[in-house]
Amino acid sequence: MQAVGKTQDIRQAVEAELGFDPLIDAANITVRNMNGEVALNGTVPSYPQYLEASAAAQRVAGVTSVYNHLEVVLPEGDFRDDAMLTTAANNALALNITVPDGVEATASDGNLTLTGTAAYNSERAAAELAVAGLTGVRNVRDDIDIAYNGDPVDVDLHVQEALDRYALVPDDSDVQVDVKGGVVTLTGHVSNWAEHDAAVSAAWMATGVIDVRDDLSITD
């Protein structure tokens, strides 16, 4: 009976958070929960709302993972043909000082694919952010490669030191860092999504990191 009650409480809390968030039209979103694993189903009218729905669910206590199955169904006036959206996306990338030269976007039925090379994940994230809010975008696929040409030194030590500095990561955290060939693997336990995101962000900020494998467990 307690498990059922907790399941209902988490689902209801996620529904309440989606309804509370002014950036989300939650009218066509349904929430399913199984022991803290939350699935979002239904439709939203824009890609930023698709992203915000995941963020809202992650804010709820007891949520350990979020599966975003929402579909972006654009209002009639927001449709853009592929050529127009491709041009708009590439203009947005070119105007963003953080996005490196050579990163390009291609649109297909409202779905944007980003390609090219970046030196840091922050550059890749900037490219996603630059195009995410464009009218007509239904989804963004990030195929930008991380290519660091230097010799990374003590990446694991740098990541661990960053974790030790972060206020959101407690001093008694058991998060472990393993680095092989520029790929950082994080293992251990965090108590909430804020702590989880802080740990992942710390890993991505280290020089020489080309990928982060997130094997952290949330034990709220």
Q: pLDDT averaged over consecutive 10-residue blocks of the chain (220 residues)?
A: 58 96 97 94 98 96 94 95 97 97 96 95 94 97 83 73 82 86 89 88 83 87
The model scores a pTM over 0.75: yes
> Domain check: are 19 and 36 in the same one?
yes
pLDDT at 202: 86
> Domain check: are 141 and 176 in the same one?
no
> Domain check: are 8 and 67 in the same one?
yes
Spatial distance between the Cα atoms of 76 and 96, rounded to a whole number of angstroms: 29
> Domain check: are 128 and 164 in the same one?
no
Q: Count, in order, helices (H) and strands (E) of the chain.
A: 6, 12
Q: Phi first, then psi: what are they for 202, rounded to 5°?
A: -60, -40
Beta partners for residue 177, in sequence order = 186
> Domain check: are 169 and 195 in the same one?
yes
Q: What is the DSSP letter of 22?
A: T
Spatial distance between the Cα atoms of 18 and 219, rounded to a whole number of angstroms: 22
> Domain check: are 67 and 7 in the same one?
yes
> Domain check: are 179 and 118 in the same one?
no
> Any alpha helices (H) in 29-138, and if so which ranges?
47-58, 82-95, 121-132
> Domain check: are 161 and 136 in the same one?
no
Q: Which domain holds residue 40?
A: 2-72
pLDDT at 153: 65
> Domain check: are 65 and 88 in the same one?
no
CATH number at residue 64: 3.30.1340.30
| Count of structural domains within the chain | 3
Buried b (16+ CB within 10 A) or exposed e, 121-147: bebbbbbbebbbebebbbebeeebebe
> Domain check: are 199 and 162 in the same one?
yes
Separation of CA 13 from chain center: 21
Tokens of 177: 């860092």
Of 35, 54, 72, which marks where a domain is finished?
Answer: 72
pLDDT at 7: 58
CATH number at residue 94: 3.30.1340
pLDDT at 2: 37
Of 89, 116, 146, which marks where a domain is finished?
Answer: 146
> Domain check: are 67 and 86 in the same one?
no
> Domain check: are 45 and 68 in the same one?
yes
Q: Is 36 left (phi over 0), alpha (psi -120 to 50) or beta?
A: left
